[in-house]
Copies of this chain bind each other. A is one copy, B any other.
Amino acid sequence: MLLKKEKGQLIVLSGPSGVGKSTVIAELLGQRPDIYFSVSYTTRKPRVGEQNGVNYNFVSREEFERMIADDELLEHAEYVNNYYGTSMKAIQDRLDAGIDVLLDIEVQGAAKVKARCPKALFIFIIPPSFEELSRRLHNRNTDSEEVIQGRLSKARTEFKEIPNYDYLVINDKVANAVNEIESILTAAACKVENRSKILTQFT
């Protein structure tokens, strides 16, 4: 493309556990290193292998509650007694600088972002079928049958929120899903409203 993006695009990505979202995101960021992936804040303890600033920004409950009080979070939620949230400032600075920002958040978080940034791109990743989602969760060999059934049940609840999203990307193969997301981003950059700067020289 000839032109630098006029302003960064906020991209919200959701999808059920087991759909392969992390792999899709890794592949997308490999092909589009210009995208800033927003690392969430959490009060839960790091698991083995997790790095601060990479998987999460790990902070104390005190610090997290201060961020809430100072309205520093674009969205936040509490699960199993731990807070999870997205810093507003880190995102806003990048968007202002014309950098696209990618958020990987759950459906409730996405709904909160939509309330504050209705112009963000809301993308939901689905598996090619429900059976395939179940197969992928079983193939991980990490969770008990009970945990897997819990994830599948949660997925059904999450699917109900799809009408709040703009785009549905099918992760049949990672390359296809990444291609669809890249097309969605390119198309968004081509929207007349996002090319107002070049337009001024013609009108």
Contact = CB atoms under 8 A, between A and B. Distances in A.
B3 A130 contact: no
A187 interface: yes
Interface stretch (A46-54, A93-101, A162-170): A162-170
Contact of A176 (B2, B128, B163, B184): B2
A188 interface: yes
Contacts of A202: 126, 130, 156, 159, 162
A1 to B, nearest CB: 6
A195 interface: yes
Contact of A183 (B129, B176, B186): B186
Contacts of A126: 198-199, 202
A179 interface: yes
Contact of A192 (B165, B180, B201): B165
A130 B163 CA distance: 41
A192 B167 contact: yes
A145 interface: no
Contacts of A160: 203
Nearest to A133: B202
Contacts of A65: none
Most B CB contacts (10 A, CB to CB) among A163, A167, A182, A183 go to A183
A51 to B, nearest CB: 33
A170 B203 contact: no
For the complex of A and B, 10 pairs with smallest distance between CB atoms: A187-B187, A183-B186, A183-B183, A159-B202, A2-B172, A168-B195, A184-B187, A167-B190, A183-B187, A168-B192
Given A162-B202, A183-B187, 4 more contacts: A159-B203, A167-B191, A168-B198, A183-B190
Interface of A: 1-3, 124, 126, 128-130, 156, 159-160, 162-163, 165-170, 172, 176, 179-180, 182-184, 186-188, 190-192, 195, 198-199, 201-203
